[in-house]
Structure 1
Amino acid sequence: MKEGRIIRVSGPLVVAEGMKGSKMYDVVYVSDKKLMGEIIELKGEIASIQVYEETGGIGVGEPVYPTGAPLSVELGPGLIESIYDGVQRPLDKIREMAGDFITRGIHIPGLDREKKWKFSPKVKEGEEVEPGDILGVVQETVLVEHRILVPPGIKGKIVEIREGEYTVEDVVCRIDTGAGVEEIKMLQKWPVRIPRPYVKKLAPEIPMFTGQRIIETFFPVSKGGTACIPGPFGSGKTVT
């Protein structure tokens, strides 16, 4: 896609021209510093961009690089054991690269591309599968078993699946859909603004005991549910 040019900067809001072909909520990289942003308004070839990093020093005429893809998260083994910033950059990796403070323009994948995980199949070659079926599992932590599912929109017969150690980008299964063979990896990318599909939502029924009497009394939490801890700044919500 053709790169655009900045015509106005107002704090975290950047306006760029020449953004033909871009779509709402596409991710772009602003200036040669490659600051991450998201298109929040389009008028012809003029795009308003919400930049998720400090825009100090960015000026008119600098380039904007479209990606043609929406803001997405990476799903796969390694997700549970990691701590991220707001755009799924692993904080431990950022610290290794830049020290204790996050510098601008750092781009690190959400999931480790080099670490290998032990994949154990739960289906056999020749079986028919459909979206949401469990292909295999990865023991991500002592307590967490990560299930590798058939992605949405894919159904057919398994033609190849193997146990072994793989990275998240290695192919662990091949499915014949009738229209071709789909290669399945442990890594899946999903747009953040599109809800994950489901057949049925299960109502949470099992309580989760936090050990905090005030929470158990006024804000009971259920396993698999959601919770809210109200309070002012500095009151200890995060510590709780």
Structure 2
Amino acid sequence: MKSHLALAVAGALSLMACDSKAQANDKELRLGVANYLDKKGELCLDLTEWPLSISPANMEMKNAAPDTIVAKMETLTALGLTAEAPGGDDPKDTRPFKPDVVVKRYVLTDAGKKLYREKEVTVKDYRSKTSKQVKEGDLCYAQKKLDKVIAWTKPIKTGEWLWVHVTYSYKVGPVAAWARNPTLSAAFPDIAENLRLAGTEQKVYLKLGKQGWDEYDIGFD
């Protein structure tokens, strides 16, 4: 009798736990936004392909703006984070969209490799509705963390998903010293912009999954 009662109580507690995760309240949405920022809130330079190839078109655009790819690479090279490598055809480069002609390449130096962060990311093909895991890396300088959840919309049911639009603000963890170098400001204006936006209102869609609220990725829904 006691064992049946214990099972019934355990089952009820399990259902209550699931129900609590389904609630669009401050606690559960804070967990959802914090999880989203932990996964996708790393602040990086958005340079994910190494060696990085420079095409003739890139060279022509060199003086068009202070943040062209050539200017970015020259800045990183001046800081000792990248170095020039010979151009020409590279048989090891099997990327489908690589330049037909490569004027020069840039590689990470030992100092640059210490800043390089590589992780597995999911790449989705929306036509075939398939996905695959690939390794992608970048030079990263800080991490967004949840500051506070400000507001959220009434949860809406779309198909099998329950989703909500959350307004929040983030704070930035320790910023790497190299990213504060003033010579980077013109070449990488996003650094200053990402730091400026800390504490301001941001928005994210969350959907309800088995583990609670998490980023709403349209995926193949």
| TM-score bin (small chain) | under 0.3
- Higher Rg: 2
Q: Higher helix share goes to which structure? A: 2
> Could you state the TM-score of these two structures normalised by the residue count of structure 2?
0.21
Which one scores higher on RCO, CA 8 angstroms, separation ≥ 6? 2
> Could you state the TM-score of these two structures normalised by the residue count of structure 1?
0.20
